[in-house]
């Protein structure tokens, strides 16, 4: 687990804020046994389905088979009932996703302008 995950699970708002400020990766996921997490879902079918998702793996240790799921800091904050921390993490994730989308759009647009000017230059030469 990362420091951000531990602080999110413990509900330490100030520590979560500080770690995010230092650039902690809010999207990082680590594998955890589903059986351990299942007791924390408190019968929430929606959250249980979200936890299981499509990216779970079964591993065998000795005679036991475990389902491993990937969790991030946001998942842990929700599992342990820290709504304010989960909200902070969700907003941070949203801002990062929006900025990445904007960067991608800007890069594509800049590339298109460069290609258009290059084609214009080639047309002028010909």
How do 64-71 and 57-61 pair as beta strands?
antiparallel
- Look at residue 72 in the predicted model and tell me its pLDDT: 93
**pLDDT, tens digit, 9 for 90 and up, residues 14-26:** 999 999 999 999 9
Please state the domain extents for the chain. 3-101
Q: 44-48: long-range contacts at Cβ-Cβ below 8 A with a sequence spacing of 24 or more?
A: 47/78, 47/79
Q: Can you give the pTM of this predicted structure?
A: 0.67
- Does pLDDT of 77 surpass 60? yes
Q: Which of 31-40, 61-70, 102-111 has the lowest mean pLDDT?
A: 102-111
- Look at residue 43 in the predicted model and tell me its pLDDT: 59
- Look at residue 83 in the predicted model and tell me its pLDDT: 95
């Amino acid at each position: 687990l990362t420091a951000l995950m531990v602080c999110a699970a413990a509900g330490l708002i100030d520590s979560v804020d500080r770690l995010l400020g230092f650039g902690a990766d809010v999207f990082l996921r680590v594998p955890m046994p589903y059986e351990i997490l299942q007791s924390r879902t408190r019968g929430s079918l929606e959250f249980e389905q979200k936890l299981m998702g499509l990216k779970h793996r079964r591993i065998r240790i000795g005679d036991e088979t475990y389902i491993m799921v990937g969790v991030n800091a946001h998942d842990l904050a929700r599992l342990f009932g820290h709504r304010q921390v989960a909200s902070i993490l969700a907003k941070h994730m949203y801002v990062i996703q929006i900025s990445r989308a904007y960067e991608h759009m800007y890069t594509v647009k800049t590339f298109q302008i460069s290609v258009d000017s290059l084609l214009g230059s080639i047309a002028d030469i010909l």
